[in-house]
């Protein structure tokens, strides 16, 4: 196999992602019921343009930074999950919000938009393995244990945006906040001002990296709550002593980067600066030179001088786009093998065309509609995030 200019070896997985098949190891999701245009249809770009033009201001298309180029081209706004949540909330005039991202993002958009607006996810199979790692039942059981141990009253839930609407509603019911990788530090500080402990859901790495590297807590102030074990795998004493209870969840994409990747790229690319997302493990983040959210990664590369060299540890679609947009800089992917988010990649041009043309025909397909009770409490937690200082 030969490496491309990003330093990535093609793999059989990359071919699978381009097709319609399901990857046996990929995130849970439901399949798309639609009659999709063929991916080989040469008129897809023209059809997407025509459908968008026909819909005009009635449609607003949001595109997460990890989406494919062919989809990003049709996004009215691109951003990380924080920026997209704000953008969705700020467009009451759009009847349809087409969310090119994953399921939990579309749920958040539905929660933050008005009843007169409908949110569409072009492929319902675009889930998120991290979000699936915390179910509402598991979190309710954990809260019961914290109640029995006598610490629930002083524990504030902080849930990463990458969680289901049900987990967001749990967070709102219990006086907590949502956070994203852009504002996890301010969210955790707010929670520790309000209570004595944080239950951080569902990404243990973002939680640990924020607590230790941003708030200056010690590693052993944090314990990992394993939902598959009785009492989370902890003693009552460990639960009482901990400041941060980290849910045992992770991102299957960012979790692939290792310390060896960092060592290897430093040998391969002279003078390289290693820049990673905080969903990477603590070991990777502490070995790297810089850590920050998707928006931080983009800003850092935009501000970097010509001739500088960067190895980036985040989703491959974004890294490829940054490399194309900055030919005056050396930009390589931190891993040597392919690392797309397989569910983000499920949104492709055929699905987007199908969703937009269906709207033109008066059919709302793949609507994401969160029930009223869940919406109410999830909105409490999302509004709390939007009200955090500095947002």
Q: Which residues bind ligand SF4 (CB under 6 A)?
A: 66, 102, 128-130, 162, 251-253, 315, 341, 343-344
Q: How far is the CB of 388 from ligand 13P (least distance, A)?
A: 14
369 near 44, Cβ under 8 Å? no
3-state helix, strand, coil in the chain (%, to 5): 45, 15, 40
Partner interacting with residue 78 (select from ligand 13P, ligand SF4, none; CB below 5-8 Å by kind): none
Q: Which of 52, 72, 80, 134 binds ligand 13P (CB under 6 A)?
A: 80
Least Å from the CB of residue 49 to ligand 13P? 27
Distance CA 105, CA 90 (A): 15
Q: Which of 113, 138, 159, 162 binds ligand 13P (CB under 6 A)?
A: 162
Q: In angstroms, what is the minimal distance from the CB of 280 to ligand 13P?
A: 11
- 287 near ligand 13P, rule: CB under 6 A: no
What does the H/E/C string look like for 329-344? CEEEECCCECCCCCCH
Measure the CA angle with vertex 23, ends 342 and 83; round to 5°. 15
Angstrom distance (rounded) from CA 330 to CA 309: 4
Angle between helices 372-386 and 81-89 (to 10 degrees): 110
Cβ-based nearer residue to ligand 13P, 32 or 251: 251
121 neighbors 106 (Cβ within 8 angstroms) = yes
CA-wise closest residue to 6 among 340, 333, 247, 262? 333
* 162 versus 287: smaller Cβ distance to ligand 13P: 162
Nearest to 80 by CA among 343, 295, 244, 351: 295
Smallest distance, ligand SF4 to C-beta of residue 27, A: 6
Distance of alpha carbon 162 from alpha carbon 278, whole angstroms: 13
Instruction: Using CB under 6 A, pick the residue from 163, 181, 252, 317 that binds ligand 13P.
Output: 181
Residue 252 interacting entry, from ligand 13P, ligand SF4, none, C-beta within 5 to 8 Å by type = ligand SF4
Report the residue from 158, 179, 224, 251 that binds ligand 13P according to the rule CB under 6 A: 251
HEC letters along 179-243:
ECCCCHHHHHHHHHHHCCEEEEECCHHHHHHHHHHHCCCCHHHEEEECCCCHHHHCCHHHHHHCC
For ligand 13P, which residue of 113, 155, 177, 293 counts as binding (CB under 6 A)? 293
| SS3 assignment, position 169 | helix
Report how far residue 385's alpha carbon sits from residue 383's, in angstroms, rounded to the nearest whole number. 5
- Residue 294 as a binder of ligand 13P (CB under 6 A): the answer is yes
Which residues, including other chains, have CB under 8 Å from residue 32's CB and lie 6 or more apart? 123, 124, 125, 351, 366
Nearer to ligand SF4, 336 or 346 (CB): 346
Instruction: Confirm or reject binding of residue 180 to ligand 13P (CB under 6 A).
Output: yes
Question: Which of the listed partners (ligand 13P, ligand SF4, none) does 181 bind, with a CB threshold of 5 to 8 Å by partner kind?
Answer: ligand 13P
Distance in Å, CB of 82 to ligand 13P, minimum: 6
Contact range with ligand 13P by CB under 6 A, out of 8-16, 18-26, 77-85, 268-276: 77-85
Residues 358-377 that bind ligand 13P (CB under 6 A): none
User: Of the two residues 82 and 96, which places its CB atom closer to ligand 13P in the complex?
Assistant: 82
Helix (H) or strand (E) holding 295: helix 294-303
Residue 129 binds which entry of ligand 13P, ligand SF4, none, with Cβ cut-offs from 5 to 8 Å by kind? ligand SF4
CB of 30 to ligand SF4, least distance (A): 16
Residues that bind ligand 13P (CB under 6 A): 80-82, 162, 180-181, 251, 279, 293-294
């Amino acid at each position: 196999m030969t490496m491309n200019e990003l330093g990535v070896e093609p793999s059989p997985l990359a071919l699978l992602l381009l097709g319609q098949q399901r990857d046996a190891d990929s995130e849970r999701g439901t399949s798309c019921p639609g009659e999709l245009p063929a991916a080989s249809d040469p008129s897809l770009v023209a059809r997407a343009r025509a459908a968008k033009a026909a819909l005009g201001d009635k449609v607003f298309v949001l595109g997460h930074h990890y989406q494919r180029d062919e989809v990003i081209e049709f996004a009215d706004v691109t951003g990380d999950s924080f920026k997209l949540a704000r953008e969705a909330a700020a467009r009451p005039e759009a009847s349809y919000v087409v969310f090119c991202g994953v399921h939990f993002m579309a749920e958040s958009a539905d929660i933050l938009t008005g009843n007169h607006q409908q949110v569409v996810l072009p492929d319902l199979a675009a889930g998120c393995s991290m979000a699936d790692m915390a179910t509402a039942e598991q979190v309710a059981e954990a809260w019961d244990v914290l109640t029995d141990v006598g610490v629930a009253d002083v524990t504030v839930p902080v849930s990463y945006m990458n969680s289901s609407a049900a987990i967001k509603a749990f967070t709102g019911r219990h006086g907590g906040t949502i956070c994203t990788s852009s504002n996890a530090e301010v969210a955790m500080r707010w929670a520790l001002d309000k209570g004595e402990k944080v239950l951080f859901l569902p990404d243990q790495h973002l939680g640990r990296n924020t607590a230790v590297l941003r708030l200056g807590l010690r590693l052993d102030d944090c314990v990992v709550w394993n939902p598959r074990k009785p009492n989370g795998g902890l003693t009552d004493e460990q639960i009482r002593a901990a400041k941060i209870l980290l849910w045992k969840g992770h991102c299957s994409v960012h979790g692939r980067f290792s310390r060896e990747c960092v060592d290897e790229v430093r040998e391969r690319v002279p003078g390289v600066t290693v820049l990673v997302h905080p969903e990477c493990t603590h070991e990777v983040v502490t070995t790297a030179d810089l850590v920050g959210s998707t928006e931080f990664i983009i800003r850092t590369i935009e501000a970097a001088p010509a001739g500088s060299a960067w190895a980036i540890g985040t989703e491959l679609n974004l890294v490829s786009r940054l490399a194309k947009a900055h030919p005056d800089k050396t930009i390589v992917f931190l891993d040597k093998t392919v690392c797309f988010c397989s569910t983000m990649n499920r949104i492709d041009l055929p699905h987007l065309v199908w969703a937009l043309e269906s709207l033109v025909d008066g059919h709302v397909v793949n609507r994401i509609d969160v029930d009223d009770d869940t919406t109410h409490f999830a909105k409490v937690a999302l509004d709390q995030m939007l009200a955090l200082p500095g947002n």
